[in-house]
Structure 1
Amino acid sequence: MSERILGVLGGMGPLASAEFMRQLTLLTPAERDQEHVPAILWSDPRVPDRVAARRGTGPDPLPVLVRGLRGLEAAGCGAIAIPCNTAHGWIVGMRAATRLPILHIVDAAAEDLRRQGVRPGTVGVMGTVATLEMGLYQDGLRGGGWDVIVPPPEDMARLVSPAIAEVKANRVEAAYAPLAEAARSLVARGATAVVLGCTEIPLGVAAGPALPFPVVDTIAALARVSIAWAREGATPAAVA
């Protein structure tokens, strides 16, 4: 293992950040403590709500995100992973505020689609309303040859958004049924795989039986590219 230290800008939400650290550990090919990835988690749940900010009903989270970035810089980190999809809507401002590379979660998801053998075509994406409205995955995956379909507004209101809220409230098991229904609906509309584009969603999906089609757990995907960076200095090819 190299001495590269990974900075994890988290707290959005805290459970997703904890799961990222768990996946970072489980996915590292290591036989002893010293072979794992050195990492520092900055978990600050005080970051203003990203969905509210994007919709103009809440404060800008960028100043708090930048404070975390600077703390990780000062701690000696060499790159940043952010286990929150919606926060990547502020990626331009964050990259302007730090000298460190930020490992983009959409690039990590594209890398995981390739890892699973999902060929260019139609994929579904589930995420927060803000993530989907910003087009993070629609824009990001297009460069890799994928077209993106998302849940219709009625499925977002009835299934996806309430399920994300359940996970944030630590009622993870209650999130499984609505998320599974929304994912199956995307496959019925022609998706060959479903990207779980909110880091709360993989936690809910993992609370029940495995879905019978490829899914991209964006927490695990980000952990894999973080491990590659720490071991080899590699970053996934940008798809946008």
Structure 2
Amino acid sequence: MLGVLGGMGPLASAQFMLRLTLLTPALRDQDHIPAVLWSDPRVPDRTAARIAGGEDPLPALLRGIRGLEAAGATAIAIPCNTAHGWFEAMQAATALPILHIVDAAEAELRRQGVTPGPIGLMGTAGTLAMRLYQGRLDSRGWTCLTPTAEEMDRLVTPGITLVKANDVAGAYSPLAEAARLLIARGARAVVLGCTEIPLGIAAGPVLPFPVCDTIDGLARAAIARCHPPA
């Protein structure tokens, strides 16, 4: 049974469950992965905790893990990139394997035929400040190009905020512009390294370059882990 530690935000968690279902090779109900979603939007803001001295989200994250353990989960997926800043502490607190979203994103890039080299990386200010992707991918040959501080303030952060407010259509323009700017600086693909961003990008015209949807990447990783082979 897959445990999904969600609520960060609720819409991204719901989209993960949708994509988990749609990407699973299934012909009937019984072919799908048993899953339980712990969607708790009360988890303190991860970015505020890392860069502004906000409340530590770890106790709430561990409470969710305890709930998933009690529900019978045998593996955990977390459809929130910034929460992976506490990955080591969460993994140390449970015997259940936790899928890492950055590894899932790398696998999704390779699935799309994008090989190591320069890639764009969009995410929350917390994700970028913690270097969650750079710290994990630099040694594997990837070079992460990130938005400038001005682009974060004008485009990326407002776009994420709009998705969290359920205005996915309004989020498309700023998020798409930020992605195009990364491609213009030499990125060969753009990682949507916040699970709100794919929702905004999907609300408008398809971008003419590869994008890595980290919701889809994590869903595929969960299917590979939990779905019995045909």
Instruction: Tell me the TM-score normalised to structure 1 length.
Output: 0.94
Distance 1:55 1:133 in 2: 8
User: Alpha-carbon deviations, 1:155-205, whole Å to 9, x = none?
Assistant: 000000000000000011000000110000000000000000000000000
The answer to whether 1:217 aligns with 2:208 is no
Structure 1 residue 58: Cα displacement = 1.3
Structure 1 residue 232: Cα displacement = 4.8
The answer to whether 1:81 aligns with 2:77 is yes
**How do 1:47-58 and structure 2 match up within 5 A?**
47-58=43-54
AA matched with 2:88 = V
**How do 1:22-171 and structure 2 match up within 5 A?**
22-171=18-167
Equivalent residues of 1:110, 1:144 under 8 A apart: no
Gaps of 5+ in 1: 234-240
Gaps of 5+ in 2: none
AA matched with 1:59 = E
Equivalent residues of 2:47, 2:125 under 8 A apart: yes
Structure 1 residue 139: Cα displacement = 1.3
Distance 2:55 2:209 in 1: 38
Distance 1:81 1:143 in 2: 24
Instruction: Tell me the TM-score normalised to structure 2 length.
Output: 0.98
Distance 1:221 1:137 in 2: 14
Q: Percent identity?
A: 69
Distance 1:119 1:69 in 2: 34
User: Alpha-carbon deviations, 1:118-141, whole Å to 9, x = none?
Assistant: 011100000000000100011112
User: Alpha-carbon deviations, 1:72-126, whole Å to 9, x = none?
Assistant: 0111100000000000000111011111000000000000011011011100000
- Secondary structure of the residue aligned to 2:140 is coil
The root-mean-square deviation of aligned C-alpha atoms, in Å, is 0.9
Equivalent residues of 2:121, 2:193 under 8 A apart: yes
Displaced runs of 4 or more, over 4 A: none
Structure 1 residue 142: Cα displacement = 1.6
The answer to whether 1:20 aligns with 2:16 is yes
- Secondary structure of the residue aligned to 1:221 is helix
Structure 1 residue 57: Cα displacement = 3.0
Aligned residues: 229
Distance 1:166 1:231 in 2: 34
